[in-house]
Structure 1
Amino acid sequence: MEKFFATCPRGLEPLLVEDLAAVGVADAKAVPGGVHFAAEWPACYALNLHSRIATRVLWRVAQGRYTREDDIYNLAKDTPWPHWFAARQTIRVDVVGVKCPLKSLEFITLRIKDAVCDRFRADANARPTVDTREPDVRIHGFLTADECTLYIDTSGAPLYQRGLRQKTVEAPLKENLAAGILRLTGWKPGVPLLDPMCGSGTFLAEAAQMALNIAPGAGGRSFGFQRLRNFQLETWKDLLDAAQDAEKPVQHAQIYGSDISPVSVRAALANLDRAGLLPAVTLSSGDILEIEAPAESGIMVANPPYGERLSEQEELAVFYPPLGSALKRNFAGWNCYLFTADMRLPKLMRLTPSKKTPLFNGAIECRLFEFKMVAGSNRPK
């Protein structure tokens, strides 16, 4: 059994445990920002292929205590890197510290890189070169107050890069956060879903993939594990073939998107079309304050602007009260979910959320507010 750590947006750890259970991993331990687990390689491949929530799947290759930089160098130099990849391959080293007493993480990053190269020189009389943009192998160091753990990244590019997005508009959500939010709403394929502020279409693309049972890693992207010496090609081919065989034909899936900005609608259309998902989604231009619900009941999910500048906050304070009125007027019978960093939203909308889930969009603390718009009581006379 190998030891792994899968990272994810903070707040989505329980969903990542569910993804691990779906690929046959039982004893997963969630911590803030990810999940520790032990598994054989097929489960690692399957998690990279199927998890909509994970950001990276890291393989633990060394762990030891330290008091100074030389201890970390020695730990990295004692690690048998040439067993796992070749000197001709390029590397990148990233280091994160929590309560680390040492002065410079940049210097530690350099020391780990030197140790890897020195190990290669000793074993193979050659050394890998550094490529910070598209390395063959990514090495991660994680430092606590007194312990260093070294990982090889089995994912490569982060897993939220599905290979689908072509056009973006301002501040798009990461795909794995959007997928997590959809899961937290309780939405299931077949239930009408509307994103009335769809931007470049991230919620719509994730929902369409779920509805059509398309594995998020099956879109032609590559993975870090494919560039390691221990890569099991036949195992990977079998997993990929099974995932592609399980896909459903592309057809309309009661997924609806609209936006007040024609530029955003065009971006969403281009992204969905490029991904082959456009037939599953109905797109239109429209103002959230005026559009009508596309069905009697369903799930509405939106990521309204946060208002980072004072002028924007003032504009949002004017926008929220009519938004609350529009939801009551036009979405009776729907469960509405708004994801925002603006904690004033419910009060200014004059609506009481039935649930508020803390989540993080990168470093920004946010809430997913649930508003159940009860049918019958709010309809205009």
Structure 2
Amino acid sequence: MQVFNNTSKVIITCNKRLAPYLSQEVEELGFENIRVFPTRVELNASLNDCIKLNLNLHCASQILYSIKSFQAQNGDDLYREIASIAWEEIIDFNGYVSVNSNVTNETITTPLFANLKVKDGIADRIKARKGLRPNSGPDLHKTVIHLYWQDTQAEVFIDTSGETLAKHAYRKHPGKAPMLEALASGVIYSLKWDRQTPFINPMCGSGTLAIEAALIATGRKPGLFRMNYGFMHILGYQEEVFFEERRQLKARIDKTKKIKIIASDISEEAIELARKNAKTAGVDTLIDFFVQDFRKTPIEPSPGVIVFNPEYGDRLGVHSKLELVYKAMGDFMKQSCRGYMGYIFTGNPELAKKIGLRASRKIEFYNGRLDCRLLEYELYEGSKR
């Protein structure tokens, strides 16, 4: 089974509301999206194509390569269909396999039962052909198989990513209530920012928004920070394909780009973490960090963008104090950021009312399970007229 060169259905998953930005990334890589759903993009690609996709996408979570779709009424049907696949041509009998699933079937009370049926089908098939069963467990660092089973329709995939792509591997020091890197990328893509003018990020926390802005502006891809993926543990993998793709990633970095990115936070600890994360990401020389109240953040001449990601009041801070903070953010943008596009990312609509500015756009995101908005403000030099 020459899966690395054979084209099949590929599903790229993402967090809810990131699909438009993921779809844009996929198209910019030269692939054609067949369908776009709220949490995934579907296309046709080979496993070698999946190497390129894994290394380049900022907004993706998992990249799933379809092996087989089939009908299954119950666990016995599932086992029989799984055992009919030539796994000995896909997985090394000395390897390690983990299985995860998305299951809605009336005969299954827990996905763990479906996972076990898939593991048994794989292991029994390989043992019958090779005399040994591969090891299995929950870790995602080697071969990962994904089962999608809805009612009687099932499909089994190779998870070519393994560990999630939504974490970009440079953030060794997350800090308090961090924004997921894939979400931060989606936020950057949604801004009216030309990646040339200043990017200002007060309340930067551990620096994720500022770092992602620097990465995107200079063409640095998440694949630069990671050396292990699920596709590496599939029979037929050629490491030269991977290293050639990484070479191209490095060659496409714009090392001459001059861009002003400023990140500030009142917490000295947060700024220290942000500096470390930026250094790991290779963009520490592109970001000016300041320990200070957001109202003292230096603002470059307009135009530019200023992006806040304040506390929402659900996990951190005190609500009454945050009302004053939100009002102060609005006052600061109105008085000190004229000519800029202003943005505030929040999951608290009541606090958002305290900003005191009329949003020109309200862009929908989810931060985990929390329904959030990125509020956009046009900060005119004079009157709007």
Q: Paired residue for 1:163?
A: 169
**Alignment CA distance shift 1:214-1:135 (3 Å):** closer
1:330 Cα deviation from its structure 2 partner: 1.5
**Alignment CA distance shift 1:312-1:87 (3 Å):** farther
State TM-score, norm by structure 1: 0.92
- Choose 30-39 or 79-88, whichever is displaced more: 79-88
Kindly report which structure 2 residues correspond to 1:262-281, keeping only aligned pairs within 5 A, or say none: 262-281=268-287
Q: Paired residue for 1:261?
A: 267
Code of the aligned partner of 1:57: I
* CA distance, structure 1, for counterparts of residue 237 and residue 26 of structure 2: 20
* CA distance, structure 2, for counterparts of residue 28 and residue 152 of structure 1: 19
1:238 Cα deviation from its structure 2 partner: 2.7
Q: Which runs of 5+ in 1 are unaligned?
A: none
Question: What secondary structure, in the 3-state scheme, does the structure 2 residue paired with 1:264 have?
Answer: helix
* CA distance, structure 1, for counterparts of residue 17 and residue 25 of structure 2: 14
Q: Paired residue for 2:4?
A: none
Residue correspondences, number: 378
- Choose 247-256 or 185-194, whichever is displaced more: 247-256
Which of 316, 319, 332 matches 1:326? 332
Q: Do the aligned partners of 1:251 and 1:280 also contact (CA within 8 Å) in 2? A: no
Q: Do the aligned partners of 2:47 and 2:65 also contact (CA within 8 Å) in 1? A: no
Q: Deviations over 1:201-250 (max 9, x none)?
A: 11122122222222220234222112211223333333222221222327
Code of the aligned partner of 1:60: S
* CA distance, structure 1, for counterparts of residue 318 and residue 82 of structure 2: 48
1:145 Cα deviation from its structure 2 partner: 2.9
Q: Do the aligned partners of 2:142 and 2:229 also contact (CA within 8 Å) in 1? A: no
1:170 Cα deviation from its structure 2 partner: 0.8
Which of 126, 141, 147 matches 2:147? 141
Q: Do the aligned partners of 1:290 and 1:326 also contact (CA within 8 Å) in 2? A: no
Question: What secondary structure, in the 3-state scheme, does the structure 2 residue paired with 1:369 have?
Answer: strand
Q: Paired residue for 1:116?
A: 122
Structure 2 residue 107 is matched with structure 1 residue 107: no
1:332 Cα deviation from its structure 2 partner: 1.5
Q: Do the aligned partners of 1:250 and 1:279 also contact (CA within 8 Å) in 2? A: no
Structure 2 residue 61 is matched with structure 1 residue 55: yes
* CA distance, structure 1, for counterparts of residue 220 and residue 298 of structure 2: 30
Structure 2 residue 235 is matched with structure 1 residue 236: no
Q: Paired residue for 1:13?
A: 19
Code of the aligned partner of 2:337: F
Code of the aligned partner of 2:207: G
Identical aligned pairs, as a percentage? Answer: 27
1:289 Cα deviation from its structure 2 partner: 3.5
Q: Paired residue for 2:78?
A: 72
Question: What secondary structure, in the 3-state scheme, does the structure 1 residue paired with 2:318 have?
Answer: helix
Q: Deviations over 1:55-89 (max 9, x none)?
A: 11111112222322222222222222221111211
Which of 150, 154, 157 matches 2:160? 154
Question: What secondary structure, in the 3-state scheme, does the structure 1 residue paired with 2:92 have?
Answer: coil
Structure 2 residue 304 is matched with structure 1 residue 287: no
Question: What secondary structure, in the 3-state scheme, does the structure 2 residue paired with 1:320 have?
Answer: helix
Q: Paired residue for 1:84?
A: 90
Q: Paired residue for 2:38?
A: 32
1:272 Cα deviation from its structure 2 partner: 1.2
Q: Paired residue for 1:302?
A: 308
* CA distance, structure 2, for counterparts of residue 282 and residue 65 of structure 1: 56
Q: Do the aligned partners of 2:93 and 2:132 also contact (CA within 8 Å) in 1? A: yes
Question: What secondary structure, in the 3-state scheme, does the structure 1 residue paired with 2:349 have?
Answer: coil
Q: Do the aligned partners of 1:4 and 1:38 also contact (CA within 8 Å) in 2? A: yes
Q: Which runs of 5+ in 2 are unaligned?
A: 1-6
Question: What secondary structure, in the 3-state scheme, does the structure 2 residue paired with 1:139 have?
Answer: strand
Code of the aligned partner of 1:30: V
Q: Do the aligned partners of 1:25 and 1:43 also contact (CA within 8 Å) in 2? A: no
1:164 Cα deviation from its structure 2 partner: 1.1
Structure 2 residue 207 is matched with structure 1 residue 223: no
State TM-score, norm by structure 2: 0.91
Q: Deviations over 1:148-171 (max 9, x none)?
A: 221111112211333311212111
Q: Paired residue for 2:3?
A: none
**Alignment CA distance shift 1:99-1:325 (3 Å):** farther
* CA distance, structure 2, for counterparts of residue 205 and residue 306 of structure 1: 22
1:271 Cα deviation from its structure 2 partner: 1.2
- Choose 91-100 or 53-62, whichever is displaced more: 91-100
Pairwise CA RMSD = 2.1
Q: Deviations over 1:250-294 (max 9, x none)?
A: 765211100111110010011112332111111101222443423
**Alignment CA distance shift 1:192-1:98 (3 Å):** farther
Q: Deviations over 1:93-118 (max 9, x none)?
A: 11123576632122222222222222
Q: Paired residue for 2:347?
A: 341
* CA distance, structure 1, for counterparts of residue 105 and residue 322 of structure 2: 38
**Alignment CA distance shift 1:294-1:311 (3 Å):** closer
**Alignment CA distance shift 1:60-1:31 (3 Å):** same
- Choose 305-314 or 273-282, whichever is displaced more: 305-314
**Alignment CA distance shift 1:115-1:211 (3 Å):** same
- Choose 299-308 or 314-323, whichever is displaced more: 314-323
**Alignment CA distance shift 1:17-1:334 (3 Å):** same
* CA distance, structure 2, for counterparts of residue 205 and residue 364 of structure 1: 23
1:187 Cα deviation from its structure 2 partner: 2.1
* CA distance, structure 2, for counterparts of residue 234 and residue 130 of structure 1: 27
Code of the aligned partner of 1:337: Y
